[in-house]
Amino acid sequence: MNSKDLERFQRKVKIDPTTDCHEWTSAMTPLGYGTFRLKGKDYRVHRLAYEHFIGVIPTGLVVMHKCDNRKCVNPSHLKVGTQKENLQDMSNKGRGSRQVDPNLVQTFQKLYAEGMRIEEIAKMHNVSRHTIGRHVKGWGR
């Protein structure tokens, strides 16, 4: 992000004095993650914050919230880890038990059988690759 983009980004953040979370106040995904348009593309704000303030996200790793607040972009509340670590963290915190509608599962399976990649299905339905993989390949069962 250049300085103009960073200024625009920071105008959309409110600091919670109790938690020190820097909460995103603008556009959100249906799952509660902030999004920011940059150079014509939407990005998840926690990933942008990590990359701007900390550094490159290593290939194959995800950005996790230590504070368990999806809206938080405070760099000191962000860390990288594997998707497996992220899922374990969610489970440890009592999250991730969201049930997927059986009709939607059938849609996932149909799209996968027709040759669509897991990543594409996940992006289309705004769910994790793991959720799709669990329902079309039996991951984690």
Burial label, 134 (beta-carbon count in 10 A; 0-12, 13-18, 19+): middle
Res. 72: pLDDT tops 60: yes
Is 141 a member of any domain? Answer: no
**Contact of 86 with 66, CB cutoff 8 Å:** no
Instruction: Clarify whether residues 10 and 45 are in a common domain.
Output: yes
Question: Which tens digits make up the pLDDT trace of 6-16?
Answer: 999 999 999 99
Domain total of the chain: 2
**Contact of 44 with 23, CB cutoff 8 Å:** no
79 vs 83: CA distance, rounded Å:
12
Instruction: Clarify whether residues 80 and 127 are in a common domain.
Output: no
Res. 93: pLDDT tops 70: no
Q: What is the CATH number of the domain that holds 80?
A: 3.90.75.20
Question: Which tens digits make up the pLDDT trace of 40-62?
Answer: 999 999 999 999 999 999 998 99
50 vs 53: CA distance, rounded Å:
5
Q: Which of the listed ranges 11-15, 89-93, 103-107, 134-138 does the model predict with the highest average pLDDT?
A: 11-15
pLDDT averaged over the chain? 87
Instruction: Clarify whether residues 107 and 87 are in a common domain.
Output: no
Task: For residues 56-72, give the mean pLDDT.
Answer: 91
Res. 140: pLDDT tops 60: no
Instruction: Clarify whether residues 45 and 68 are in a common domain.
Output: yes
Q: Where does the pLDDT of residue 68 fall: very low under 50, low under 70, confident under 90, or very high at 90 and above? A: confident
Q: What is the pLDDT of residue 74?
A: 97
Host domain of residue 119: 102-136
Instruction: Clarify whether residues 56 and 30 are in a common domain.
Output: yes
Instruction: Clarify whether residues 69 and 108 are in a common domain.
Output: no
Instruction: Clarify whether residues 107 and 86 are in a common domain.
Output: no
